[in-house]
């Protein structure tokens, strides 16, 4: 069966975590040309508009915390999905859950 009890929506949780990580990783970097829409005069006046915003450390910390929580939530939903779909028994569920949480980056 390979899951499906939640219509594979757990992958949306994972995608949100990835999107937040991408936002964190691009902070302070120069935007690619396709994201720069103003003219040269505008960017001479507002040079910071060519650079992705850098969030304060406290905000970055909370965003990283959210990524961790979302990754944990994704693991739980995935494992419960397989349990409810009949792919895993109760013991296998507990073992795989523990293993997945231990292997989480």
The tens digit of pLDDT for each residue in 31-47 reads 887 787 767 787 778 77
Q: Give 95's contacts (C-beta < 8 A, 6+ positions apart).
A: none
The token pair at 30 is 């120069």
Which two tokens mark 99? 């293993």
Per-residue pLDDT at 1: 53
CB atoms within 10 A of CB 72: 15
- Residue 30 carries which DSSP code? B
pTM: 0.84
23/48 Cα distance (integer angstroms): 17
> Domain spans of the chain?
10-103
Q: Which residue ranges of the chain lie beneath pLDDT 50?
A: none
């Amino acid at each position: 069966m390979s899951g499906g009890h939640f219509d594979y929506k757990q992958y949306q949780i994972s995608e949100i975590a990835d999107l937040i990580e991408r936002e964190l990783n691009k902070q302070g970097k120069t935007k690619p040309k396709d994201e720069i829409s103003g003219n040269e005069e505008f960017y001479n006046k507002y040079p910071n508009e060519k650079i992705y915003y850098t969030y304060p450390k406290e905000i970055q910390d909370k965003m990283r915390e959210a990524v961790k929580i979302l990754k944990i939530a994704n693991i739980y939903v995935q494992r419960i999905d397989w349990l409810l779909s009949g792919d895993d028994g109760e013991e296998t569920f507990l073992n795989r859950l523990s293993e997945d949480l231990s292997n989480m980056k």
